[in-house]
Every structure is written in structure tokens, then in C-alpha cells.
Amino acid sequence: MIKIVKADGKAEYEFLAAVRERSSDTDRDVTVIVSDIINNVRKNGDKAVEEYTIKFDGKAPEFFEVPKEEIERSLSACDPDFIQTLEKAAANISDFHKRQLQQSWLTTKENGIILGQRVRGLERVGLYVPGGTAAYPSSVLMNAIPAKIAGVKELIMVTPPLKNGKPNPNIMAAASIAGVDRVFLMGGAQAVAALAYGTESVPKVDKIVGPGNIFVATAKKLVYGIVDIDMIAGPSEILVLADESADPKFLAADLMSQAEHDKLASAILVTTSQKLAEETITELDRQIKTLSRAEIIDQSLTDFGAIIVCDDMDKAVEMANGLAPEHLEVCCENPMEYVGKLDNAGSVFLGNYSPEPLGDYFAGPNHVLPTSGTARFFSPLSVDSFIKKSSFIYYTESALKADKDDIVRFANTEGLTAHANSIIVRFDDNE
């Protein structure tokens, strides 16, 4: 079970270093396997995808592309209450992401100069959605809705079939609500390769987003450059900052909400109270007995979980910024006072009634977040992830003439005389 670490300037950093190392190694065997799959799909297209689908999923689906009527039918095949929940969550996600939308712009300057920037959505995006026991309709909403708001013209979803060869109805319902354009029943590295290079059936996309296992993540990494990707996601993680006002029952529940994802997941509590640390362990021991994934939770908390006791909140905030966690909860008496101090986190949850699952499913901000300390320089998935920008320049003859000497000087200084000549020839006959 989880351990208590007293922050002494050494012990806490040794633990944090071990947490960072858990996702740093690249599995060379997986890379070799995935490279072979990608090359096969690139060469043999649909035939290779079908062979891998039979090999890994048990049987080929009745159809690779799910008919639109089948997608729509899923809305009536699912629990009506769950459909209402999907629709409420979709409305919250849409409202939040609409506020991120950027506009094209232009500005005029003296001498008739016009400068500007054009913003538009990507042409075609691929969305990978896991199947089987890791089927997450919430990920469909979180990836698809900002893409459609950004103006993506065609959103292609791939997801493994169920063992009976049919699509997961909950995933199909989420796809319908989120506005996915086409759905293909295929998964694994072969689906990523199909999106990246295109096959007879699957169109080539410009970007691939969405979560997956190590084979999917490795495939995304290997096709990056052929297409864009969202990020290379590592194991899930949560860091909870808590002062003596926090409720240990809440803290224990929130730590386990992340630990249940994966044995490599990391759940850390940083507090100024030794008493709270001990009470939280008592709550962990009590609550874990009722949970279905208790074995995974216990392994995760034992290997990569800790309760770190600091002398003051300044030290706790310093540790949070150093770890740059995917999820950061602030369970303190005045949580808003820390907003401006917490610079490195994927998503910040403020107060005792803003637990991490609220962000996973419902509040509106995206749950696709940077992991493994990359929140120091990466941002959550957003509308910005699905747009591209072009700048444009218009100069009149008089405007270019006014600046020509500076441009020529720049070019000559860099040894690029053809650049300089491109400016000079426009005015040779005029001077």
C-alpha cells in the first residue's frame, strides 16, 4: 500500500525521480513489431488490416466501415439515461471549447501594406478509440467535439470490433452525438497505419488523435511526421495538494480514482499535515475493499504512490510545479489563492467538490492531457490542436522600396545573395 515520505530535501526527490522513470523506457520489441505492422499495411492496405483484425480481435467484422444507419441505430440501442448523460456532457464540452476558437485577421499599415493570418480547420483527422474493456465513450466526445468546432471537414474514427464482430453501441452513440463523419471497425497499430498512409477503404488523414495501448502509442510515434499526432501519452497520474482542512475520505477516493487506470499509474498526495497523511491511509485501507479494481489500485499505490509531508505549502507548490502532473487537485481551505502559483499541470481541480472524474467526463475542459512531466511545455487537447494557420503579406512597390536596403543587408550578411538579388532586380531600372 501507499507509503508516507517525509520531505527532507532528498527522500521526496528520490521518489519523484522513480515516478518519472516508470514511463521513460521504450520497448524495443514493441517497436519492431509495430514497424512490421505499419510497413505491411502501407504495402498491402485493406488485406493487411483484415489479417491483423482476425489475428488480434478474433474475427473480421461484417463490415469495415460502419453504415450510417447502424451508427444512428445505436442511439436507440443504448440506455436512454446514458444517452441523456452523453448529451449533457457534449453540451458542456462544446460550450467550453467554443470559447477557444480563433479568428482569421488582417491589419493595414502605411504605404498600403496588408498583413494577416488565416485560420482554418484541418482537412481530415483520424480519431482512435479503444475497444473491449477499455472502451471510453467520453474520449470520443473529448476528441471529436473540439475537432468539429475547429472546422475539421472530415473526422474518421477507428475502433476495434467487439468479439462478435459488431461495433460497441456506446462508442457508436457517442460518435453520433459528437458528429463523427465515418467509422471503421479496426484497432491496434494496423488502424493507426491505415489512417496515416490510407488504404483502399480508409482515407489518409492529416492528424491522428486519441488514446490507446502501447502498440497504438508506438504506432502514433512512428508515423509522426507523415501525419501530425496529439501527443505521446504515458501512464495516468494525479497529484493532490491538501492542507489540514481537507477530508481524508475525499483524498483517498481521489487517489484511487487514478490508481485504478493502470499498475503504472501514479497517485501522490502532498500535504502539510502528518495527521491527515495517516488518516488518508486509513481511508485507503477501508475504501479499497469495495472496489472492483482493487488489485490494480494496490499495485499502483505500492509502486508509484506516496503521501509526501512538507513543512509548508510553499514547498508543496514547488513540488507540484516540479512534477508537472497530468491532474492536479487543490484540496485546501482557500484553493483559489494557488491558481496563479501552479504553473505546470495539465488540468487543475480546485476545492473539495471538484474531483478529477468531474473533468474526465462532464465539466467541459478536455481530459486529453499531457503526462510524464510534459505539462511543463505541452497543453491539453483543444480547438487549437485541430487548426492550421497561414500568414499573408501584401506590399506595394513604394513600401518594398522603403525597406529594400534593410532586406538586402540582411540577405548579404547571411551570405544569401540570391535572396538579395530578388529584391535588387525590382528596382535596378528605377534608380
111: cell is 504605404
Q: Sign of the CA dihedral 178, 184, 186, 192?
A: negative
CATH fold of 28-229: Rossmann fold (3.40.50)
Q: What is the pTM of this model?
A: 0.92
Q: Are 305 and 2 in contact (CB under 8 A)?
A: yes
Cβ 66 vs Cβ 172: under 8 Å: yes
* Fold agreement between 3-23+235-363 and 28-229: yes
Specify the higher pLDDT residue, 141 or 131. Answer: 141
Write down the pLDDT at residue 431. 55
Please say if the pLDDT value at position 23 is more than 70.
no
The CATH T-level fold of domain 3-23+235-363 is Rossmann fold (3.40.50)
Of 135, 147, 156, 118, the closest CA to residue 230 belongs to 147
Q: How many CA atoms lie within 13 A of 308 on its CB side?
A: 29
Instruction: List the 237-242 sheet strands across, edge first.
Output: 3-6, 306-309, 266-271, 237-242, 327-331, 347-350
147 contacts: CB under 8 Å, gap ≥ 6: 121, 122, 125, 127, 155, 209, 385, 386
User: What's the pLDDT at 430?
Assistant: 60
- Per-residue pLDDT tens over the stretch 400-426: 999 999 999 999 999 999 999 999 999
Q: What is the pLDDT of residue 164?
A: 84
Q: What is the pLDDT of residue 370?
A: 94
Summarised one tens digit per residue, pLDDT across range 34-54 is 999 999 999 999 999 999 999
d(CA 354, CA 204): 40
3-class secondary structure, 271: strand
* Residues assigned a catalytic role: 326-327
Instruction: Tell me the pLDDT tens digit for each residue of 300-328.
Output: 999 999 999 999 999 999 999 999 999 99
Return the domain boundaries, the chain. Answer: 3-23+235-363, 28-229, 395-430
Give the residue carrying C-alpha cell 548579404: 412
